[in-house]
Chains A and B, each alone.
Chain A
Amino acid sequence: MDEEHVYTVSELNRTARDIVEGGLGGVWVKGEVSEISHASSGHMYFTLKDAAAEVSAVRFRSRSPILSAIEPGSVVLAFGKVTIYEPRGRYQFVATLVQPVGAGVLQAAFERLKQKLHAEGLFDPEHKKPIPAYPTRIGVVTSPTGAALHDIVSVLSRRWPIAELLLFPSSVQGDTASEELVAALDRAIRFSQSEAPLDLILIGRGGGASEDLAPFNDERLARAVYASPIPVVSAVGHEIDFTITDFVADLRAATPTAAAELVTPHAADVAGRVTECVDRASRGLRGRLEENEMLLKASLRRPLFRTPSRLLETAEQRLDVQAATLARAPRRALERPRERLARLDAILRLSSPTRPLERGFSITYVDGASRPLRDARSVVPGTHIMTRVAKGRLMSSVEEVHEE
């Protein structure tokens, strides 16, 4: 007996702990959760049990975030180690990972569906419809009360308020959500065909936990999106994962906000493009006016039209002023198109008949033709042409034609 070691209680518990921890290591345990309590420290204490036995368990706060889905009755798969809490001599399971058993099943189903639809060609880039550059009627399939609608409305109001938004309300989470989404998408397509055509459809919801996205992983919804004759843009709020709807949609955005930005131009950019067009058009017309000026000069050189030179000078000056104004004033032009036109008429009437020819320009006519020659291809070697210069005219015949 003397040699027999007598343990203190502390020693006993410590030794038992070493044996248990060393002997088992990390293990997976499957069981049903009961009696959950969340301590103010952030630790979660719970009991795991099966039909015949139970074990106390704890998950410390520093571990992965607590899943709201775990509640009494959930069957979970937990990874951790078995230990003994020495002060109480209590045996417990310390979990580092707790996940609902359903989660793995869902993930596997997701992968299977993804493979299947991929093999069928539902994700093929060739099938994806182009997104119109200037959508004016935009269908939105989402919850009427959710963050997604709010975000889309605020982007459209800011960027592209010329659009009209048509909401096709649907719930976006829960057991019936995928069915409702399919029905709402169908409603949007019917509306587009019978009432007013939609340019595109946004379908989505705001961010949520992965189980909230389940409706967007539904096969019927995927097929409905694929079959839509209207481009469909997925706007499901989750940056990291993809849903099946993302893969099958014609365009995928990471969030509803991003979706609304991707499919619309900015009104200010479009207005800038309009201004640029008017600018270019003004320059183009000015070129035509200058050409016309030369033509007029040519005809006015005939004795019948000879005019006192002072009058011509005045007219020249006015033309310069008018032409310069025209070139740099697209904005004013925009405001009063009719007035601009009246001004153009004035420019034409005032066109001076002498200057371009005096600067060294000339005008060539095919002999006998009333309109000036514009294209080298309309003559051939040997064609007789008449060239009008500032003083007099030249009669020649074409030797060679060089096309540009």
Chain B
Amino acid sequence: MKIEETLEKLEKITSALEREDIPLDEAIALFEQGLELAASAKKALDEARLKISQVVEKAKGVLDLEPFDVS
């Protein structure tokens, strides 16, 4: 899941929990889901390392993805 999607879902769950009209069992399930989303977002942010590659066209119409080393 892309980080943007994770954040959107987390926001949605948060707003839902702030409203008063959800039955408790549902609220708990949502909260648990929210915690998991938050944990995965934090983990993704903490562990991220910029990935760099280059796309070249060796033969006409054939795109190759190659690792690219910035030094």
Chain B residue with minimal CB distance to A340? B35
Chain B residue with minimal CB distance to A280? B14
CB distance from A262 to the nearest CB of B (A): 17
CB of A149 within 8 Å of the partner chain: yes
CB distance from B68 to the nearest CB of A (A): 6
Given A134-B2, A270-B45, A169 and B27 touching (CB < 8 A)? no
Give the dominant DSSP class at A's interface.
Answer: helix
Q: Which of B14, B21, B35, B45 contacts A333 (CB 8 A)?
A: B35
CB distance from A164 to the nearest CB of B (A): 4
A26 to B67, CA, bound (A): 60
Instruction: Please determine whether B28 and A132 come into contact, CB atoms closer than 8 angstroms.
Output: no
Instruction: Please determine whether B38 and A277 come into contact, CB atoms closer than 8 angstroms.
Output: yes
CB of A5 within 8 Å of the partner chain: no
How many A residues, CB 8 Å from partner? 54
Q: Which residues of A contact B54 (CB under 8 A)?
A: 144, 166-169
Q: What per-residue 1/0 map shows which CB atoms of B37-57 lie under 8 Å from chain A?
A: 011011011101111111111
A195 to B32, CA, bound (A): 35
Q: Which of A132, A281, A340 contacts B14 (CB 8 A)?
A: A281
CB of A97 within 8 Å of the partner chain: no
Instruction: Please determine whether B50 and A149 come into contact, CB atoms closer than 8 angstroms.
Output: no
Q: Which of A133, A274, A280 contacts B41 (CB 8 A)?
A: A274
Q: What per-residue 1/0 map shows which CB atoms of A193-231 lie under 8 Å from chain B?
A: 011000000000000000000000000000000000000
Q: Which residues of B contact A334 (CB under 8 A)?
A: 35, 38-39, 42
Instruction: Please determine whether B31 and A274 come into contact, CB atoms closer than 8 angstroms.
Output: no
Given A273-B7, A274-B10, A163 and B50 touching (CB < 8 A)? yes
Q: Which residues of A contact B57 (CB under 8 A)?
A: 187
Q: Which residues of B contact A393 (CB under 8 A)?
A: none
A291 to B21, CA, bound (A): 11
Q: Which of A150, A195, A277, A341 contacts B70 (CB 8 A)?
A: A150
A168 to B57, CA, bound (A): 10
Given A144-B68, A168-B55, A191-B63, A278 and B35 touching (CB < 8 A)? yes
Instruction: Please determine whether B18 and A267 come into contact, CB atoms closer than 8 angstroms.
Output: no
Instruction: Please determine whether A162 and B44 come into contact, CB atoms closer than 8 angstroms.
Output: yes
CB distance from B52 to the nearest CB of A (A): 5
Instruction: Please determine whether A285 and B27 come into contact, CB atoms closer than 8 angstroms.
Output: yes
Instruction: Please determine whether A162 and B3 come into contact, CB atoms closer than 8 angstroms.
Output: yes
Instruction: Please determine whether A134 and B3 come into contact, CB atoms closer than 8 angstroms.
Output: yes
CB distance from A93 to the nearest CB of B (A): 50
Q: Which residues of B contact A133 (CB under 8 A)?
A: 4
Given A337-B39, A341-B32, A190 and B63 touching (CB < 8 A)? yes
Chain A residue with minimal CB distance to B71? A150
A278 to B38, CA, bound (A): 7
Instruction: Please determine whether A344 and B31 come into contact, CB atoms closer than 8 angstroms.
Output: yes
Q: Which residues of A contact B55 (CB under 8 A)?
A: 166-168, 187-188, 191, 195
CB distance from B62 to the nearest CB of A (A): 10
CB of A156 within 8 Å of the partner chain: yes
Q: Which residues of B contact A174 (CB under 8 A)?
A: none
A224 to B54, CA, bound (A): 20
Chain A residue with minimal CB distance to B39? A334
Instruction: Please determine whether B17 and A281 come into contact, CB atoms closer than 8 angstroms.
Output: yes
Q: Which residues of A contact B46 (CB under 8 A)?
A: 271
CB of A287 within 8 Å of the partner chain: yes
Q: Which residues of A contact B20 (CB under 8 A)?
A: 287-288, 291, 374
Q: Which residues of A contact B68 (CB under 8 A)?
A: 144, 167
Chain A residue with minimal CB distance to B31? A285
The 3 closest A-B pairs by CB, nearest first: A284-B17, A337-B35, A162-B48
Interface residues of B (CB under 8 A from A): 2-4, 7, 10-11, 13-14, 16-22, 24, 27-28, 30-32, 34-36, 38-39, 41-42, 44-46, 48-57, 63, 65, 68, 70
A-B contacts, 22 of them at CB < 8 A, read A134-B4, A136-B3, A162-B48, A165-B51, A166-B53, A169-B54, A187-B55, A188-B55, A190-B63, A194-B63, A195-B63, A267-B45, A271-B46, A274-B41, A277-B13, A281-B13, A284-B19, A330-B38, A333-B35, A334-B39, A340-B35, A374-B21
Given contacts A134-B2, A274-B38, A277-B38, 13 further A-B contacts (CB under 8 A): A144-B54, A164-B52, A166-B52, A188-B55, A270-B3, A274-B42, A280-B14, A280-B18, A281-B35, A287-B20, A288-B17, A291-B20, A334-B38
